[in-house]
Structure 1
Amino acid sequence: MDIAALLTSAGVNIAVCVVLFSLYSVLRKQPSNVRVYFGRRVASRCSKSRDLCLERFVPSPTWVMKAWETTQDEMLSTGGLDAVVFSRMVVFSIRVFSVAAVICTTLVLPVNYYGRDRIHKNIPFESLEVFTIENVIEGSRWLWAHCLALYIITLTACSLLYCEYKSITNLRLVHITASSPNPSHFTILVRGIPWSSEQLYCDTVKKFFAFYHAQTYLSHQIVYKSGTFQKLKDDTEYMCKMLSGSCGSMELPCKPSFTQCYFCGGSTNSFKIISNDIDSMHGRTSYTDLHTNARKKECAAAFVFFKSRYAALTVAQNLQTSNPMLWVTDLAPEPPDVYWANLCIPYRQLWIRKISIFVASVTFVLVFLIPVTFAQGLTQLDKLERMFPFLAGTLQKKFVMQLVTGYLPSAILVLFLYAVPPVMMLFSTVEGSVSRSGRKRSACTKFLYFTIWNVFFVNVFAGSVISQLAVFSSITELPAQLAKAVPVQATFFTTYVLSSGWASLAFETMQLYPLFCNLFQRFILGYKEDTMNGNLTFPYHTEVPRILLFGFLGFTCSILAPLILPFLLFYFVLAYFVYRNQILNVYIRKYDSGGQLWPLAHNTTVFSLLFAQVIALGVFGLKQSPVASGFTIPLLICTILFNQYCRQRFLPVFQRNATQVLIDMDRRDERCGRMDQIYEQVQSAYCQATHSTQSECFSSHQGDREHVRTPEELETGKEISQKDLSWPPVLRSLSLDNSVLGGK
């Protein structure tokens, strides 16, 4: 590939970005698209406007300025600590690759370009390999420049990593101590409750904790089988009982159900109270029926509440019985973070699920080799002409050749990769995560490994001389073989940054799927009111792996092919504005993991540094530079020691809560006399029925009775008081009172 092909790919992606960003700046001003581009803001207020002005149809960069002016405190209050951590990942990348771009373009790039005596062509017709380390002759004394650049990049990255890790650790501690009393600090999740033929799980839990933790045990809440099918089944049973009771002697073929509500600590709703009254009138409910139906609905899991944070922490971290498969205790997720569907999975089944998911993931990776190999084959025109002889004439045209080699391979790979995140999310769900944030973190890790393997290693192996080797003669030759292959494929990675980076950010701002749904509902179905829910959460499982993958490519190719760094730096700068805008306006925060994504980012960055150093060691060996090789080995050792120090110093704060912090919080609440109030809040926080249905309804429609605002007023905070909008059709069809909707 030559510079002209790279510029063709850059030109296509720049054109796509300019068109989409301009279109976005116009569409976001239209009142009909408020719920698409201001989904987070309409969660607390509704927006609507029918005024017409020319400014609404003129592109403007106001959203960029708003994203630039937003402070970290505003990001923290809007998107939570997870959003701040993600923003810090992007800022870290901008800082480290700014240094890398300056060093490598001024020091390494000239050495690569003039590293061999040859007649250079005009820059547009130069091959990209001329700008890589492949152009440096063996035994060159100028390889010290590459070693020096590697040292500067590593020292800069480690210094920034340490500062970021320390800062985010402090933010996490503030997140724990400064927030209002968190019910999860007083609660543990118990799984693997022993089965008993004589008593319910509810009685078993109470008996166990009241006996072994009598001083600190407060109460408990059993988890019941839920899910769409179970809810429909329960509602059908209740309706049948109501109808059978109202028909007197007419008996309907409906099986009585467990009519007492244990979902919310003994509270009942009106629907179940009616069922109880009818059953008591006709004398149909017996103790045996209640016991049998209760056992059918109970799961071997429960939330157990304690009188202090320290007591909950102690019980969660200790082994309860001599059988580690019974009475398994962990700290409970926050109430909005609980993934109720997975709580009923038997604990003994989890290891089988994890093994099955591992096998399924490996199989999926192997199957994905087909599109990756196909995409990589497009970069080799000679093979393409042999496979498709009828395209020989077309492929000889200059523009077509540049388009096929410079744009299509990375674009095709990006299209195939769009199918991966839903699959990884499905795998993480089946794996059995009990929290929504944990499920998303698991999917994030799987997608990261998947993209690093398929985008980097498979492309390197499929498109280089390594693909012609059957096996490596020894593992020690791997750095040398990678050193041969990576510079050859660096051009593909550069075009991948353009296609998967720049263009993906433009599509992210457009929100194509919600936009098309909104247009379909308005112009095809004829809805006049805004019916978009606007309750999307930030897709950390797709965006975090993309950021970390680009960082991996940047570190790996920095001294081998420094031409990738300017394109990469521009991507991170653009991502800074785009993601901040989306967090402020589009995505809703439903839960907060407390910055748990940062350890993954730190570990991936350190792995990227180590991998870049290993490849550099192989390159210096191939180029017969013992001095550069000798100086690289201490850098490897120091990087490993730095990572080990960070793991010992900061990582435990993200894995466990500190006893000192929790005891201080307990004593502070006792001095203020708030413990009784906290106990009431804790025992009503984990309401299974509310969190699975009503809270989601509320989060989608709680702003439907607020003042009407325009898109510009949502950004500036100005308010125009107009008449309240009516409830959406979904809520109008439900008999929900204010206490249910407001959660009061």
Structure 2
Amino acid sequence: MIVSALLTSVGINSCLCILYFTLYPILRNQPGNFYVYIPRVLATEGLERTNYFLQHLKFSTTWVRAAWRLSEEELLSSSGLDAVVFIRIITFSMKVFLFAGALGLFVLLPINAAGTQVAAFIIYDIPTATLDLFTISNVNNGSKWLWVHCFAVYLVSGFVCFLLYHEYDYICSKRVAYFYSSKPQPHQFTVLLRGIPVPPGSGVSKAVDSFFMNYYPYTYLSHVVIHRTDSEKQLVEARSAFVFFRTRHGATIASQLQQSDKPTDWVGEIAPEPHDVHWAVFHSSFLRRWLLKVVIIVTYILVTVLFILPVMLVQGLTNLSQLEVYFPFLNSILSTKYIRQIVTGYLPNLILKLFLLLIPPVMKFLSSIQGHVSHSEIQRSACSKFFWFMIWNVFFANVLSGSVYTQLEELLDVKNVPTKLAVAVPAQASFFIAYVVTSGWTSTSSYLFRTKQVIQSTLKRCCCCCSKKTNADEFEVPSIRYHKQIPKILFFGLLGITYFFLAPLMLPFLLVYLSIAYIVFKNQFINVYAPKFETAGKFWPLVHNSMIFSLLLMQSIALGIFTVKKLEMGSSIMFPLPVLTLLFNEYCRKRFLPNFTAYSVESLLKRDREDANDPGMLEFYHQLMTAYRDPALAPVDTDGVRVPNHSDNHTAPLLSSV
């Protein structure tokens, strides 16, 4: 891609971003759009809408200052630790790219431009020059200047590992502090039990009661049986139950021990929050869940393979010279300079972005039928699936198919992977810069604008006579889709870490994206998004692992690039770096990861001893009995309200003795 084509893409997307940022305060000040742009403010504070905006939104930049000044403690108190972790992913990436960007732009970029391997740099010929002039590909083979790149790889790797350790340690401490500061929560005292064996002539409730009174007589409190609706719309034994304990420590011990000699019986885990429960999963047996996992793996592979088709279409547009060989009639269409720049610079990334919009819902659906018991687990699973999907289909597929577009059989050759990546990755720098601009700048700005929601609101006001009543009746505060946003940030992080020494020109575009994301999402946490669940920072291990993978990928490419560039000693020096990175990751896994699996005995007993002197715990235990409301007990059939079988619903034999 030539510089002018990239500038065309940057110009189009910059105009769209400016349009979004300009129209946002104007549309937000319209009373009919309050339910679109400040639903959380209306739901939590109940402010008079017109007076609120007349007083606080007089100037269009007010919302930017409010988002920028929002402190971490304010965000924690209003949106929870997950929101704090999400914003820290953005600030972590900004720290990395500020350091790598300074090193890349002021040290590596001049070295790349001074080379003559691709062509000599001529300043007045920049619009028609290829972006390869600014990549490591332009450094002459065997040049001593390549040692600067080698040193930069070590320096950035060490800096990223230092930040990763600091962030992991910080979020662990915030997770423990969040646990100490929170009031007693139902899920902390509850174990979700599945695979309950029922003796002949007995019921699920009686079996649970007998088992836990026998094996946990001092900590067991009560239970609630989970129901399901059969094909005849009748309530039956789902063989699952929420089991309540007197203490957090008792619930944790029961959730982590194997209860029976048969591992598929009495399977327990700490219950999710009441509003976070994924009730549909209790309709599936162990065998069905196991088979679904196999089906999900096969489906995931098929979706990944089929997505190669749009990737090939995108790469065809970026390689018009090869495309015109197979389709000569395109010569007349693409002969115009500006049309050619739009087709090569903007259209490929727009097409890829549109296809990628279909993937997060697919990944969430696959995760929802995988057997996860909570919506938060579904989002974390979908987050991981989407991230690896982008790794294979957006990064590797574009890199390999773009570099060997006319020799696709080489895609199947797995030999000399670092060397192939060393040649292929720098060649696709311009494509990924345009991708950051299209899928980063414009897409993030559109979240602020909420295009879909404002169109729906406008149509309702035009079609409905009593629009205010309609908006009030259908008013709902949305939540952020972590499974869609976190993988995108992590993927951009991979691009930045990978390309910082290959094509430093990418880093300013990434920093602009992160700055937009920082302002936009903090504004949305203030005005739009309300937390639907709280994992207390459990998304961070995925972030850590993705950054480690990005480092390993960058180091592997560096090993190959120094081999291709005839700097054999540089390749030898690269060998210890991946080993050191893996050792660092193993240390972090041992040091921090257990804190994200379960709370320590020290933390649990400390909170339990504090609660022992709290007179309000008796009322909490009574509320605990009704915290998990089974939706199967709520439906109304044609004959009236369905009455559940109370004898097999729940028992509370020990409540009076608390």
1:11-90 aligned at under 5 Å gives the runs 11-46=11-46, 60-90=60-90
The answer to whether residue 294 in structure 2 is matched with residue 355 in structure 1 is yes
Give the aligned partner of residue 644 of structure 1. Answer: 586
Q: Return the alpha-carbon distance in structure 1 between the equivalents of residues 392 and 413 of structure 2.
A: 21
Q: Please state if 1:112 is matched with 2:51.
A: no
Please say if residues 445 and 516 of structure 2, whose CA atoms lie closer than 8 Å, have aligned partners that are also in contact. no
Deviation sequence 1:638-679 (CA, Å, 0-9, x none): 211111111111110001121111011111111334442332
Alignment-mate amino acid for residue 33 of structure 1: N
Q: Deviation of residue 343 (structure 1)? A: 2.4
Q: State the Cα distance separating 1:35 from its structure 2 match.
A: 1.0
Q: 1:685 aligns with which of 624, 627, 632?
A: 627
| Cα distance change, pair 299–57 in 1 and its aligned pair in 2 (3 A) | closer
Q: What per-residue deviation string (whole Å, max 9, x for no partner) do you get for residues 30-58 of structure 1?
A: 11111111111122244565689999999
Structure 1 counterpart of 2:640: none
Greater CA drift, 351-360 or 52-61: 52-61
Correspondence 1:235-384 to 2 at 5 A:
296-384=235-323
Counterpart position of 1:524: 463
- The answer to whether the aligner puts 1:477 opposite 2:416 as a matched pair is yes
Structure 2 CA distance for partners of 1:473 and 1:421, relative to 1, 3 Å: closer
User: Normalising by structure 2, what TM-score?
Assistant: 0.91
What are the equivalent positions in structure 2 for 1:650-669 lying under 5 Å apart?
650-669=592-611
- 1:702-717 aligned at under 5 Å gives the runs none
RMSD: 2.4
Match of 1:535 in 2: 477
Change (3 A) 1:16 1:359: same
Contact 1:10–1:498, Cα closer than 8 Å, also in 2: yes
Alpha-carbon separation, structure 1, partners of 2:349 and 2:329 = 23
Conserved? CA contact 2:105–2:505, under 8 Å = yes
Contact kept in structure 1, 2:256 and 2:268, CA below 8 Å: yes
Q: What is the CA distance between 1:475 and its match in structure 2?
A: 5.2
Task: Answer whether contact 1:76 1:84 (CA < 8 A) is retained.
Answer: yes
Question: In the alignment, is the contact (CA less than 8 A) between 1:301 and 1:344 conserved in 2?
Answer: no
**2:519 match:** 577
Match of 1:289 in 2: none
CA distance in structure 2 between the aligned counterparts of 1:691 and 1:388, rounded to whole angstroms? 62
1:552 deviates by 0.5
Map of 1:416-455 to 2, 5 A cutoff?
416-455=355-394
Determine the C-alpha separation between the residues in 1 that align with 2:496 and 2:73: 30
Tell me if structure 2 keeps the 8 A contact 1:300–1:346: no
Tell me, which stretches of 5 or more residues in structure 1 are unaligned? 235-292, 694-744
Return the alpha-carbon distance in structure 1 between the equivalents of residues 188 and 423 of structure 2: 53
Aligned to 1:672: 614
How do residues 476-625 of structure 1 correspond to structure 2 at under 5 angstroms? 477-529=416-468, 530-531=471-472, 532-625=474-567
**Which of 185, 189, 193 is the matching residue for 2:188?**
185
* Partner residue in 1 for 2:647: none
SS in structure 1 of the partner of residue 68 of structure 2? helix
Q: Deviations over 1:475-530 (max 9, x none)?
A: 56110011110011111111000000001011111111211111111112233313
Contact 1:67 1:580 in 2 (8 A): yes
Q: CA deviation at 1:311?
A: 1.2
Evaluate the alpha carbon distance shift between residue 101 and residue 629 of structure 1 in structure 2; reply closer, same or farther with a 3 A threshold. Answer: same
| Identical columns (%) | 41
- After TM superposition, give the deviation of residue 197 of structure 1 in Å: 3.7
Deviations 1:534-563 (A, max 9, x none): 321111011000000000011111111111
Say which of 395, 406, 409 aligns to 1:456: 395
| Secondary structure, aligned partner of 1:590 | coil
- Offset at residue 174 of structure 1 (A): 1.2
Residue from 125, 150, 157 that aligns with 2:153? 150
| Letter in structure 2 aligned against 1:482 | L
Return the offset for 1:686: 1.5
* Structure 1 pair 410–670 and aligned structure 2 pair: CA distance change class (3 A): same
The code of the aligned residue for 2:149 comes to H
Q: SS of 1:679's equivalent? A: helix
Shift of 1:160: 1.1
| Distance in 1 between residues matched to 2:249 and 2:79, nearest whole Å | 29
- The equivalent of 2:649 in structure 1 is none
Please tell me whether the aligned partners of residues 445 and 545 of structure 1 are also in contact (alpha carbons under 8 angstroms).
yes
Matches of 1:55 and 1:345 in 2, distance apart? 54
Q: Secondary structure at the match of 2:196?
A: coil
Query: Which stretch shifts more, 640-649 or 86-95?
Result: 640-649
Larger radius of gyration, structure 1 or 2? 1
Letter in 2 for 1:443: A
User: 2: CA distance between counterparts of 1:572 and 1:691?
Assistant: 46
State the Cα deviation string for residues 365-403 of structure 1 (Å, max 9, x = none): 111111111011100112332344333122121111111
Contact 1:337 1:591 in 2 (8 A): yes
Larger CA deviation: 424-433 vs 206-215: 206-215
Q: Please tell me whether residue 97 in structure 1 is matched to residue 74 in structure 2.
A: no
Aligned to 2:656: none
Query: What one-letter code is carried by the residue in structure 2 that aligns with 1:2?
Result: I
Match of 1:633 among 562, 569, 575: 575
* Aligned-pair CA distance for 1:466: 7.8
Q: Is the 8 A contact 1:480 1:622 kept in 2?
A: yes
Deviation by residue 1:573-613 (Cα, 9 ceiling, x = unmatched): 11100111111111111211111100000110111011100
Shift of 1:325: 0.7
Contact 2:193 2:243 in 1 (8 A): yes
* Equivalent pairs, count: 630
Alpha-carbon spacing, 1:179–1:53, altered in 2? closer, same or farther (3 Å):
closer
Check 1:305–1:604 CA distance in 2 against 1; reply closer, same or farther (3 A cut): same
Q: Which residue of 2 aligns with 1:225?
A: 228
CA distance in 1, matches of 2:8, 2:54: 35
Question: Which string of whole-angstrom CA distances, capped at 9 and with x for unpartnered residues, describes residues 309-339 of structure 1?
Answer: 1111111111111100111111111112111
Alpha-carbon distance in structure 2 between the residues aligned to 1:51 and 1:472? 62
Farther-moved stretch of structure 1 (115-124 vs 370-379): 115-124
Query: 1:250 corresponds to which residue?
Result: none
Indicate the residue corresponding to 1:166 in structure 2.
169
Q: Which amino acid aligns with 1:680?
A: H
Give the Cα–Cα distance (whole angstroms) in 1 for the partners of residues 579 and 430 of structure 2. 30
Specify the alignment match of 1:137 in structure 2: 140
Distance in 2, matches of 1:203 and 1:319, equals 20
The Cα of 1:198 is off from its aligned counterpart by 1.1
Report the AA paired with residue 77 of structure 1: S
1:178-199 per-residue CA deviation (whole Å, 9 max, x = no partner) reads 1000111211010011144412
- The amino acid of 1:622's aligned partner reads V
Contact kept in structure 2, 1:369 and 1:454, CA below 8 Å: yes
The residue matched to 1:624 in structure 2 has which SS?
A: coil
C-alpha distance in structure 1 between counterparts of 2:53 and 2:380, whole Å: 45
Q: In structure 2, how many angstroms separate the alpha carbons of the residues matched to 1:512 and 1:666?
A: 48
Specify the SS of the correspondent of 2:39.
Answer: coil
CA apart distance, 1:682: 2.1
Contact 1:534/1:586 (8 A) holds in 2: no
